[in-house]
Every structure is written in C-alpha cells, then in structure tokens.
Amino acid sequence: MPVHRSGTTGRSRLATAAGTLLAVLTLLITLPGAAGATDTPPRGSAHLGTGVVAHDGQGGAPRDNRAAQTEGVDVSSHQGNVNWAALWNSGVKWAYVKATEGTYYKNPYFAQQYGGSYNIGMIRGAYHFATPDTATGTAQADYFVNNGGGWSRDGKTLPGALDIEWNPYGAACFGKTQSGMVTWIRDFLNRYRARTGRDAVIYTATSWWTQCTGNYSGFGATNPLWIARYNTTPGTLPAGWIYQTMWQYTSSGPIVGDHNRFNGAYDRVVALANG
C-alpha cells in the first residue's frame, strides 16, 4: 500500500542519515587537530618557560641594571634557523639551545642553533626538557648527553641545563609526589655529572618548584639556578639558592623572544663555561 511504502522509505532515510552522522562524528574525533585533540600540544614542542605566563603571569619590564649583567637568549625548534649575527650585534653574548626532550625527541634545528651561536662568538650550552613521567632521570640524562648535551673544556661551552617545570602534556608535576620528583631530579643530576664532570644548571620557576618538590633545598650548593620570572625582578628564589646565576625575564624580547640575564659581567659567563 502507498502509506506502507512511504513509512518504510522514511525509516530507511532516517537510518541512513543517522549512520552518516555517526560516521562523521567518528571521523572528527579521530582526526588530528579535531575538537579536544588540540588541548594537548604535540610531544617535543615544549621549551623553556612553556608554562610561565599561564601559571605565573607576566609583569613589567626588568630594571635596567645591564651593566652588571650579561644578555643571553634561549632557543628551540620554535625559532627555526636563528639570525645569530643580529643577536650578537644587539649585545647578546651567550645562548642555550634545546637539544632533547624525554628520550623521544631531538631538536631538528640543533646543529644550526648550537653551531651558529658558537661560530658567531657566543658562549653556548644545551638544555633538556624533562618529562619525568616518560623515563627515569638516569635514562634522560644519558639521552641528553648522547644527543648534544655534553660539555667540553673549550671556554665556549656552558654546562647542560635541566629544564624542569610545568608539564604541558598533562598533570603539572608529571604524576610524581614531591619526594618522587626530588629523586627523579637527583638521578638526572648525578648521571649528568658522572657523564660530563659538570654539575648541570637547573632551570625552573619558584612556584612550580614549591608545588612539585615541596621547595626542596638540597641542590642549591652544587647546581647553578636559572630562574624563570617575567617581571621587574627575579622575585623570591627556590629554597637553597641565595642568588640566581641566570634569569629568564621575558618571552617577548627582540629578534628571539626568550631573553635572559646572566647575574654577572661577561667574565663570569666565561668562568661558568670553564668550570
């Protein structure tokens, strides 16, 4: 009957439409960059100060005491091929370059950035972005040293730096307890020293250090502090350090965004390189 045929056709079309909608929704969920997938950045994209603005905010410009300090920059794959000549001519005399992250990522621009800064005359070093939830501190120190994070007594190489801060891929403290985080950091530092003979620099922010290590004070006597704070002063330092060796004071500086000040004249930068 006509009515019967019409009802069957309507139900068939409804079922087809529902099936199409389900297929589209499934595709959207699984596509890279789909809703929800962009909430977490891709592994390897982290860099020094990756969480500073979001967690600590950004204040005014630092006080102009550059006569007693030495300007530096830090770079990662985000900067691509860096114009080192322009930075040098602007007064930048030292640099840190991201070498590795976890045990799964190597900066594809490392050679241009690390070699280029050296060739222009800068004192430079390498840094490692820590992911304590993916591998041990010992394993990550080995990966770092094996992929650009070593040290040589040439007067132009700074000791490697451990970037330990907010986790851009998940929980701020990487799922570690405060004591567990301290142990992980200690394992990394001990392995780095065993491999290179140098004590690594620790890059962090006071608020993260307080939250995730319980403001542990045990590294201040051995490891230089590189503090992150985008404000007029470095502010309160983590326990154990009475001064910072370096201060990352902005992520929006000239030529390259991340600018830093070494707490001393150029000869102090040379002294750190020489150990």
Catalytic residue IDs: 74, 163, 165
Q: How far is CA 247 from CA 63, 71, 198, in A?
A: 13, 10, 20
Residue tagged 């199409």 (tokens): 20
**Helices (H), ranges, the chain:** 2-30, 52-56, 84-89, 110-120, 137-144, 178-196, 206-213, 266-274
In angstroms, the CA 245 to CA 57 distance is 22
**Residues in CB range of 273: below 8 A, 6 or more apart:** 123, 125, 155, 156, 157, 158
The DSSP code sequence of 54-91 is HHH----PPPS-GGGSEEEEEE-GGG-S--HHHHHHTT
Give the SS3 label for residue 237: coil
In angstroms, the CA 213 to CA 238 distance is 10
Q: How many helical (H) and strand (E) elements, i.e. helices and strands, does the chain have?
A: 8, 9
Burial of 14 (0-12, 13-18, 19+ CB in 10 A): exposed
In angstroms, the CA 112 to CA 114 distance is 6
Number of residues written out for the chain: 275
